Structure 1
Amino acid sequence: MKKSLLTLMVLVLLMVPVLSACGSTQTTSSSGKSEIKQEITLNLMSEPPTLDPALATDTTSGWVIENLFEGLYTTNKNGDVVKGLVKDVKVSDDGKTYTFTIRDDAKWSDGTPVTAQDFEYAWKRVLNPETASEFAFYLYYLKGAEAYNKGKGSADQVGVKATDDHTLVVNLEEPVGYFDKLLTFWVYFPVKKSLVESNKNWAAEENTLVSNGAYKLTSWEHDSKVVVEKNDQYYNKDEITMEKITWVMINEATTYYQMYKGGQIDLITDIPSDAVAQERSNPEFKITPYFGTYMYMFNVNKEPFNNPKVRQAFNLAIDREAITNQVTQTGQIPAYAFVPEGVKTPSGEDFRKQKEAYFKQDIEKAKQLIKEAMQEEGWTKFPEVTLIYNTSENHKKVAESIQNMLSKNLGINVNLENQEWKSYLARTNSSDFQMARMGWVGIFLDPAVILDYFLGDSPNNRTLWVNPKYDELLHKGKVEADQTKRMEYLHQAEDVLMQDLPFMPIYFYSQNYLTSKKFEGIVYPYNRYPNVRWAKKIAE
């Protein structure tokens, strides 16, 4: 009884700030009619590590950033790539030089113009080694970018130059068939040069952050909530119907589920697995594909995962169907490869369907591989293993399931350890782990952006696995003009990755949502969290 009362008190305490923040959602027009305030409350789950486009590496930060900023290109409500801050673009015959003309009405949220110089500054800032941007490699397509980022060249040699306030000239190392898609990614967003140079903490608080997108930051109560409101300086403001977005930060699944049911949150994702069955018939429940892979990383420089046979054995020993059918239960697809479904090849066939599985569960073979690895390494006892994951009820359930499978099938005990997201990122970034949970979502639908994760010099590759053959094939798969050959190179790169297995793919993501029936027009992208800028609240 005491435990139940304590749980109820915690729930009430968590709900009170949100209820207070939401307030009334109705207003009265000049004609005296009651109008519905266009406001929505979402769940960010945790504190975004940063709102600086140069530094963000996670989808939590990205969800907010993509509402605050906009690049040369953006996506519309249908998911199509369209011009953002670009008024006009000219491409050279060899496909290596782009000349962009910036819109005359592009402005920062403080009313000052967005200039071509802001773009040049932002891109070179990402590449500046002192910035330590983990996504700098996404700009290596620019001439001289990789050399500058690695301390072997200068900023002046990077292929981006503002020739006047409205003209940005970009030179690429080689033609890139999906360059417009790349430019929708936040690492290519502009930042206000004068602001960033005058305040190194410009992106840390609502009263210092200046943005150029559909919304401006109006409140940031750290570890509690983020609020953005429609940016009246945005060139396309008349197309934005949602006036205010509030993200709360509730990590415990049961709590945010109850808050949704109580009306304190309007949309949630990652519904508790034990609630899915009862919600499946609810018209507010929705499952969508998500272009990403849920996995466990192996640190190949630490025992026991320095031995490839151990990595292979762990992969063979788990039952992915049991995890997706009995644990997650929301449409995930068991993963026996790295690239998810969703990419159509020139033949019309899905990239993943061309080679669906690299292995299947085989417990006896897994046992034999462990035996061989122990003999090779001289282990009289299998090394102790700790699996770390970021705090989440669903992550915990998956981890416990895999812990049980490895114990039952291989006789290996795995310790579990969880950390809050920001601390978890810091720890995995330093490769301070043996085995760690991670997810990787493509910034657009192409195998290359998934496979990028394991590039040898990618800071996102926390496994410390490096394979020059893999890097070479992936590079060929990015620059090859013939799309059929290009996909062949990318398949070959994945072949190399799946041979060495520096990770354990578990499932291809899906997203499950509960969305209040009071809203219409919410967009659920294939590789992003929901976009609510075109949404409308239609009822109280």
Structure 2
Amino acid sequence: MKHRFSLLIVFMVSVILTACGPSPAPVGQPTTVQPAQAPTALTEASAPTQVAAPISADALPRKETLYFNGLQWGPVVGWNPYSNNNNNGMVIALQDSARVTMFETPYLYNMLDGKQYPLLADGDWTWNADRTEITFKIKSAARWSDGTPVTAEDVAYTWATHVKYETAVAAANRDYIETIEAVDPQTVVIKAKLDANGRAVNPLIVQAYLSTYYVIQKAWTQKLEERSGGDPTKLLADPAEDVVYSGPYGKFFADDTKVVLVRNDNYWGQDPSMWGKLPMPKYLAHVIFKDNAAGSTALAAGEVDVSQQFNSNVQDLWEKQNLPISTYLPEPPYHIGASLPTAFFNLKAAGLDQVCIRKAIAIAVDYSAIIANAMTNQSATFEQVPRSLMNPTPFEQALYNREAVAHLQWTGNDIEGAKKLLDDCGVVDTDGDGWREYNGQKLSYVATCPNGWSDWQAAIEIVAAAGKQIGIDITTNFPEWSVYQTVVTKSDTPLPAGYEIFMMWSAGAGPTQPWGRIRNLLSSEWIGMPSNWSGNWGQYSNPEVDELLKLIPHETDEARLKEMYTRLVEIYLTDVPSFTLMYRPQNFHTVNESIWTNFPHEGDGTNPPVPPLNLIDGWGIAGLYNLRLVEP
């Protein structure tokens, strides 16, 4: 990276000396899986016991500890992998790139190449000929923290438990997965739910299950069921302090000041069939900071190694303060964008049912100012990555024909173009008061987002300023989140006055993307829902879009998929039911190399490339195995 900071030169001699001796190969691609006997270090007799170490959580060895910020706000509630109420940011995150420090998924998703790589699984998963069943195997080396084998029965029982106790995981997947069955101790079959034509309802969602949701031990689950008496509320509320896990780290300490995980030195992943070694840090620690400012101060002081929070003007840390701090990319946008914070139009509001008015507002907005002010240049520009429905990752950008929609693009701050667009469709100022009218009514709107969401608020102010420059009166309002979310997610009635233009998020990178993101942005299936956390909050409806969204999950021809995605982008840029304001990173992956080095960065030579996901999410956890000490 270009800003590898002069400070590291001081340490070059020690690094060179270290390099003279043998060192583990960097983790970049899975070792070829060989049929293996369970390593003797992982037998049931050698199972690790709960650590009651002499080391204090207040005096962790600095050269054995990797410190984080931005993941844990407030004390941990629990360690229960069935619950979604743990507030356990270092351990539990069921997402497209699942957090796999303590609990593990069959596969790991890599946002950089769009592929799933085996973790607990042995080799690739496969569809049957009809694409109604997925089969995969569990590695024979995989072990729980109590030393017992991870089996196909654990996978099957995990799903059955989710269904039995109606967890959030079951709610998200039961319309797409019929059953998960153990064929033998190592073989798992996932049977998709079928539609009236005998096809899987949605193959993409079935595939995504493999890298999104944890495998939980059957024996421990049965203990949990027994002590909860079969009561779903009690089962989900159980803090699970005794949970058995398969990942490389377990609980060491947690209170209202910090969370510390400790490496399981008997972790099965050191087997040649997986990583072939243990992760470098003995401890993963997260101080619970009161706010972003405190976290940024700790990062600058070298008290945080990996920062997953927005650090305003992050480049100042190395350019002005000459600190050994860097980001995945050496130049703006510094991070890999994955999600698309979006301004939605209330399509029922007077005038906003007209494409020319929506597009005029959208092309007038100064996106460069949003990126510079709201994101302090930690977003790609729309000159760098033209707007579409795709995030900036190479995998998604390759899925549509950029040239085919180039004539529909805009980069923003086109005041004259917006005025001409309005003039040409007859939206003019007829009474000389400086504001345009439509059907005799002054165009006056409120742009809004939640109070305290500073980057969004800055963006909304810039949207409002654009309106005034083209004769549309746009004011701003910032209600508290508790009010805002109640209004915006109620899609069974028209949005009320004061929510004509409003911001919401979009999905990041994942195995169902970009289909899942487009579905969330444009599908009419969300209209009419009394509680809609999925998307299309402006209530856009287009039958062609709905049909394409039904077809894509079943399409396997890459050329046809590209045609479909290109058509969806064309419709989106033509109808403008909403518009992206910036690209936001999946993670704000910023690292301090005072203690540790060899973090993932662009061009680091790893293959598959290790994504900037703070070394604990999806394939990003491979980065833990590549770390080195600056001064061993």
TM-score, normalised to structure 1, is 0.73
Distance 1:521 1:353, change over 3 A: farther
Contact 1:291/1:527 (<8 A) preserved: no
Cα deviation, 1:109-156, whole Å, max 9, x if unaligned, reads 45555443443344466678944559826x76x5xx4xxxxxxxxxxx
Q: Distance in 2 between matches of 1:306 and 1:209?
A: 53
What amino acid maps onto 1:399 in structure 2? I
Partner of 2:40: none
> 597, 621, 624: which is aligned to 1:533?
624
| Paired residues, number | 492
Cα deviation, 1:1-58, whole Å, max 9, x if unaligned, reads xxxxxxxxxxxxxxxxxxxx9743438xxxxxxxx323323322646999757859x9
Q: Distance in 2 between matches of 1:528 and 1:311?
A: 35
> 378, 388, 393: which is aligned to 1:330?
378
What amino acid maps onto 2:318 in structure 1? E
What is the CA distance between 1:82 and its match in structure 2?
A: 2.4
Query: Whose strand proportion is higher, 1 or 2?
Result: 1
- The 5-angstrom pairing of residues 310-329 of structure 1 reads 311-328=358-375, 329=377
What is the CA distance between 1:473 and its match in structure 2?
A: 0.8
> 318, 324, 342: which is aligned to 1:295?
342
What is the CA distance between 1:339 and its match in structure 2?
A: 0.8
Partner of 1:119: 155
Q: Distance in 1 between matches of 2:565 and 2:350?
A: 30
Q: Distance in 2 between matches of 1:305 and 1:191?
A: 53
Cα deviation, 1:488-512, whole Å, max 9, x if unaligned, reads 1122223333344332201233565
Larger Rg: 2
- The 5-angstrom pairing of residues 299-378 of structure 1 reads 299-300=346-347, 311-328=358-375, 329-334=377-382, 336-344=387-395, 352=402, 355=405, 358-360=408-410, 361=412, 362-365=417-420, 371=427
Partner of 2:534: 460
Contact 1:297/1:503 (<8 A) preserved: yes
What amino acid maps onto 1:523 in structure 2? P
Is the counterpart of residue 263 in structure 1 residue 302 in structure 2? Answer: yes
Q: Distance in 1 between matches of 2:631 and 2:363?
A: 51
Contact 1:205/1:220 (<8 A) preserved: no
What amino acid maps onto 1:533 in structure 2? L
Is the counterpart of residue 42 in structure 1 residue 89 in structure 2? Answer: no
Partner of 1:182: 208
Contact 1:126/1:136 (<8 A) preserved: no
Alignment RMSD (CA, Å): 4.6
> 504, 513, 521: which is aligned to 2:579?
504
Partner of 2:551: 476
Gaps of 5+ in 2: 1-55, 271-276, 328-333, 429-434, 527-532, 602-609, 617-622
Q: Distance in 2 between matches of 1:230 and 1:291?
A: 30
What is the CA distance between 1:97 and its match in structure 2?
A: 3.0
What is the CA distance between 1:320 and its match in structure 2?
A: 1.3
Distance 1:351 1:25, change over 3 A: farther
Q: Distance in 1 between matches of 2:612 and 2:159?
A: 23
> 102, 108, 133: which is aligned to 1:68?
102
Q: Distance in 2 between matches of 1:304 and 1:245?
A: 53
Contact 1:230/1:243 (<8 A) preserved: yes
What is the CA distance between 1:295 and its match in structure 2?
A: 1.9
Q: Distance in 2 between matches of 1:81 and 1:436?
A: 31
Partner of 1:207: 241
Q: Distance in 1 between matches of 2:554 and 2:281?
A: 40
What is the CA distance between 1:468 and its match in structure 2?
A: 3.6
> 63, 67, 85: which is aligned to 2:120?
85
What is the CA distance between 1:441 and its match in structure 2?
A: 0.6
What is the CA distance between 1:527 and its match in structure 2?
A: 7.3
Partner of 2:187: 167
Aligned-residue identity in percent: 16
What is the CA distance between 1:83 and its match in structure 2?
A: 1.7
What amino acid maps onto 1:332 in structure 2? A
SS at match of 2:583: strand
Q: Distance in 2 between matches of 1:343 and 1:417?
A: 35
What amino acid maps onto 2:444 in structure 1? F
Q: Distance in 1 between matches of 2:486 and 2:250?
A: 28
SS at match of 1:405: helix
TM-score, normalised to structure 2, is 0.63
Is the counterpart of residue 442 in structure 1 residue 509 in structure 2? Answer: yes
